[in-house]
Structures are given as structure tokens and as C-alpha cells.
Chains A and B, each alone.
Chain A
């Protein structure tokens, strides 16, 4: 009673806001139980009969599941291999530019794609890569190559996804590394120059080691999202021809779950994904904490 009187106004404010979290973030957890039920719309979530782990057994026996898992893992692996280092390289290059004006110009341009929606990005990508209207066909023509229908070939799908991710967040991702590079004490650079170190020696011996703490934290944090591909990006680029290499867990759940009404089965896949994601991010956080001796980490 005393706390209510003392904090009355604050409690009211907080409860108003917390209600949103309870309803929209904890609310779905109730629906998760249908992964263990045979959900029928007419019976409702509670009225549908329990089936235990039947959906999970079905899942682990289906070839679809392994295709989705493989696509999701491979896509994320390539993202980590190519899209993760790209902003670091950009920041290092940008840091070598002496003209502040040019630096600012490059940053201003390179941030722009981050704010453009995936609808626009993907739409333009499809347009530019098209064998009939696109400029890619022209560029290939200069080298005497036949145009290729990139969006309709399953072997190009992953490259297109990774490439468009790089293009979209290259500039934006470099902000944090660029800030870390700007924080290096200029005296270290000056004494290295006096000692006769050239540009590459300075980059490799001074710049890269100085931003390593930032790089390692970003790396481990990006491991946390290893099982979640970017739905908004992939749904726009995907078509039935590229399902074999491009279909990931979320696009499958959307298509089979919501459009073909297999709610329980796809809820089981979704739960699997959420649980693995949770374990990954907790593990990643623990690693960050260990590496930085408790200084960093999300909590």
C-alpha cells in the first residue's frame, strides 16, 4: 500500500507501457503451445487436442526441414564471411582519406541505401539484373558474354542476397568502426611514421589491432542472429525457381503456415528457431563477457 501511494503516478505510467509488452511480446508465447497440439481454428488454441512432440518428430524426419536449415545456415555463413568484414574494410579505407570533404561525401552517399526499404532495393535489383531491361545484360555484353536470367537461377540466389546486404549496410555498418579508428591516439601514428613504417604497415600493426575489441564484439553479437535470415529481404527476392537454395525458415513458415494453414507444424519450426536463437545469443553474450572480463556484454 505504501509503495502504491508513494509511487502512484509512476506506477500508473509504467503499467500503461508494460501492458504493451505483456500483450504484444508475451501474448504470443501463449500461442506457442499449438506446436504441441493439433490446432484447429474452430476448436481454438486451448480446445485443440494435445499431441506432444509429434510435430517435432515429423519435422526432424522431413527433407524440407533439412533444406531450410541448410539454406538458413549457409546464407548466414556467407553473410558473416563477406558482409561482416566489408564495413571494416570501408572504414579503414575511409580513414586513410585526408580530405574531410571527400570523406563526408562518401559517408553521406554510402548511408543512403540503409534508409531505403527492401521493397525498393529488391525491386531495383530484379530490374537491373533482368536479362531484357537490366544494365547487367549490357555490362556482360561488353565482355562478350550472353545475358543471364539471374533471378531465375538457383545457383545465384545466395550471392544476390549477400551482395545486396553488403550494398545496403556497407556505409551504415562502417560508422562504428570509423569512430573506433578516429579514437586512435595520433601520436602513435606519428611515431610509427618517424620509425619509417609505411601505410600498409601502419594499417596492419596499428589500425587493425586498435579496432579489434569493437570487431570481436560485433562479430559475436552477429552470431546471435545466426538462425534468423532477413525476411523482408528474402521474401522479395524469392520465387518458386529459387526455393531450393533460397527458402529459409521464416519464408517457409509464412508460405506453408499462414497461406496453407498448417499452423501447428510451422509453429513447431518457429519454436525450434526461437529456441536455438535464444541459446546462441545467451552463449554469445557469455563469450563477450568472458573476453572483456565482465566489462561488455548486453546485460
Chain B
């Protein structure tokens, strides 16, 4: 009996400890990054743990915001978030709604054709050649057009549309409503939770994507935020700019950490919404496939 009690205390204690440690590993980098981004040169260059800024200064941010490609990067990222997400939603609804109607011709074949794009990919080179043939290289449209065709999202939307009772749609049809009217007046208002989930999926994709930028866009004024920050953070390309404009530049570490903050801001702002809708969304996606 005595050993049982001892065990009953020690196991939960270990579990709480392990989980807290994991949370600390995830949270600490954010604290460190914020602290270093606001720290003075000497402090930022010091190695080791940083919990709060010392010799507080804004200089890294001021310097960073003077860098023109941060602004164009933000503009391009916001462009692809807004236009890309709207286009994705439009294409997803336009593909899924007709396929959800029981009497739509060749439904099975068309669904299979869309599904196939999920499991077979031409590869990097054929995709590049296609974008080249379409004259989309070095164009901002390359960020929003190809991602609009997303088979997985069509399937999720399709399974939601199918769950809307047929009687509702039939009733509207008997009252003389046509397909478009039914879609806008009945089906879409009922689908708002699914539309929000898919819209947020798309937003997160567009905030974080940089592969299309890396492959297809070489004009720096058309770079997205991630690619601009990638150059600062990983390829160390901001240093020449700051040393050219400044006799005593801020520490490169502060600049890098400031770029991390500037770059993660959109996700952090969206995070509460993401939490609310994504957990359910993952369940739809993984259970229904």
C-alpha cells in the first residue's frame, strides 16, 4: 500500500515536469529572440541565455525598417495572403459545389481526376518549365495561381457540402431558385465554418511559403517576406547594407532577431483564430481524408 502511494505521486510529478520542460523548449526561443532584438550591441553579441533586453534600444528595428526589401516583402506577402486566399476559396467552392450535386455528369471521373493530382507530382523541373512557358517567371501571379488548385481542400469542402440536407436545396429549387442563387443564398451561408477553416489553411500557407519564390522569382523587389528574411537570417545579406549606411552598425544578431520578430508577427496575430479553427479542421482532414 505504501509503495502505491509513493508511485501515485511520483508519476504525475514526472509527467508534469517533462511537459513543462517541453513547453519551456518551445517558449524560450521567443523570449531569447525578443531580448536580443532589443539589446545593445555588446549584450547582443554575448553568447548564452538571454531572458530580457539589456541596454535597451530600438536601433535594430529602425535599421531593419530602413531596408527597402522588408517593406516590399511585406507588401508581396500581404498580396499573396489576400489574393491567394480569396482565389483558393473561389476555386475550391467552384470545384466542390457542382461535384456535390448528385445529378452532376461524370462526377466520379472528375473527382478521381482531382484526387490524382494529390498523389502524383510532375517534379521540380517540369513545373519550372510550365511556369516558364506560361511567362509567369518573375511575376507575382506565380504566388497565387498554382496554389489555387488544391485537391485536398476540394475534398474537404466536398464532404462538407454533401452533409447539407438535400431537402433544403430541393425546396429552394421548387420555389424556382436557380443553382447560383441556391449556392449564394443557402449553401455558402451554411458553410462559413468550413470556409473559415480552409481560408486559414490557405493564409498560413501563404504567410510561410517561399519555395515558389526561390524557384521562380529572381527580381528582389518581388520577393516575399520569408525569402527576404531568409537572406538576412541564413545567407547573412543584410550586413553590407547596414555597414554602408552606418558607422557603428547594430549587432548583426540584433538585426537577425528583429527580422525574426517582424517575420513572425502575422502568424502571432492570427494565432488565436488558428487555435480556434484548426483543431477541428485537422480532425475533418485526417478522419475523412
Taking beta carbons and an 8 Å cutoff, which residues of A are in contact with B?
3, 7, 9-11, 13-14, 16-18, 20-21, 23-32, 34, 45, 90, 93-94, 96-98, 102, 105-106, 108-113, 115-120, 122-124, 126-128, 132-135, 137-138, 167, 170-172, 175-176, 179, 198-200, 218, 224, 231-232, 235-236, 250, 253-254, 257-258, 263, 266-267, 269-271, 273-274, 277-278, 281-282, 297-299
Q: Is B176 an interface residue (CB 8 A)?
A: no
| Residues of the A chain whose Cβ atoms lie less than 8 Å from the Cβ of B98 | 7, 10-11, 13-14
**Within residues 191 to 210 of chain B, which ones have a CB less than 8 A from any CB in chain A?**
204, 207-208, 210
With known contacts A134-B47, A258-B125, A274-B123, A102–B115 Cβ distance under 8 A: no
- B95–A14 touching, CB < 8 Å: yes
| Residues of the A chain whose Cβ atoms lie less than 8 Å from the Cβ of B25 | 167
Tell me the minimal C-beta distance from A25 to chain B in angstroms: 4
| Residues of the A chain whose Cβ atoms lie less than 8 Å from the Cβ of B48 | 135, 138
| Residues of the B chain whose Cβ atoms lie less than 8 Å from the Cβ of A30 | 126, 130
Interface size counted on chain B using CB atoms at 8 A: 93
- B129–A14 touching, CB < 8 Å: no
Best-surrounded residue of B101, B154, B211 (most CB of chain A within 10 A): B211
Chain A's closest residue to B92 (CB) is A17
Tell me the minimal C-beta distance from B145 to chain A in angstroms: 7
Known: A9-B178, A17-B95, A281-B119. 4 other contacts (CB 8 A): A13-B94, A31-B130, A271-B123, A299-B115
**Which are the 4 A-B pairs with shortest beta-carbon distances?**
A270-B123, A28-B122, A31-B126, A123-B233
- A119–B123 touching, CB < 8 Å: no
With known contacts A7-B104, A106-B22, A109-B23, A17–B126 Cβ distance under 8 A: no
- B29–A179 touching, CB < 8 Å: no
- B22–A110 touching, CB < 8 Å: yes
| Residues of the A chain whose Cβ atoms lie less than 8 Å from the Cβ of B115 | 298-299
With known contacts A9-B179, A109-B27, A138-B49, A21–B208 Cβ distance under 8 A: no
Q: Which of A9, A17, A127 contacts B256 (CB 8 A)?
A: A127
**Within residues 1 to 56 of chain B, which ones have a CB less than 8 A from any CB in chain A?**
4, 7-8, 11-12, 15-16, 18-19, 22-23, 25-27, 29, 32-33, 45, 47-49
Tell me the minimal C-beta distance from A229 to chain B in angstroms: 13
| Residues of the A chain whose Cβ atoms lie less than 8 Å from the Cβ of B33 | 124
Q: Which of A21, A23, A118, A172 contacts B114 (CB 8 A)?
A: A21
- B94–A115 touching, CB < 8 Å: no
With known contacts A110-B26, A135-B48, A138-B48, A117–B208 Cβ distance under 8 A: yes
Tell me the minimal C-beta distance from A79 to chain B in angstroms: 18
Q: Which of B19, B27, B29, B226 contacts A93 (CB 8 A)?
A: B19
Chain A's closest residue to B32 (CB) is A135
Q: Is B151 an interface residue (CB 8 A)?
A: yes
Q: How far is the CA of A230 from the CA of B227 in the complex (A)?
A: 17
Q: How far is the CA of A251 from the CA of B263 in the complex (A)?
A: 24
